[in-house]
Copies of this chain bind each other. A is one copy, B any other.
């Protein structure tokens, strides 16, 4: 096989994806030209269109990666052998930490959904919904067993929490007073406090 890497050891497709992620997060999808992406990755357009069908396709890959990661992590926490309060708290805190670890992904995720083609948009929404459902199931389980209040619809609680996650990429600063873990604990605490009967 001819060379797949160049200079450093990272394969070209991954280099392209990394460059695109950074640039999309920095200046937005539409403001980032394909030319800039390939230059940042140290290749040319030929390489990009060899591996990806379109610019839109590149964006879709960013989404796929994030979705896969978050879903895996949620499944791990939700399946744990712990009381439901702890499972929810752990899952809620983990998504905060993971989001902060990948702030670029997060800002792209919520800011650029509408730049995906309608078909890919539907696909991403569907996967997102699965994620949401899983989270909601945890809340409902706690409501059934009486450890959480039934006053508030579970759906709404989930959207409330993810709203704040979404917002993180807008206001979180790595040089702020709180470490990612401290912040995550606080946010998970807010959620659990709101759910007290």
**Chain A residues packing against B (C-beta within 8 Å):** 27-28, 30-31, 110-111, 113-115, 149, 151-153, 156-157, 159-168, 170-171, 178, 183, 186-187, 189-191, 193-196
- Neighbour of A163 across the interface among B28, B115, B164, CB < 8 A: B164
Q: Which one, B31, B111, B114, B167, contacts A162 given CB within 8 A?
A: B167
In the complex, which residues of chain B have a beta carbon less than 8 angstroms from the beta carbon of A167?
159, 162-163, 166-167
B194–A156 touching, CB < 8 Å = no
Copies per assembly: 2
Are B164 and A27 in contact, with the CB atoms below 8 A? no
A189 CB, min distance to chain B CBs, angstroms: 7
Complex interface: chain B residues within 8 A of A27 (CB): 114
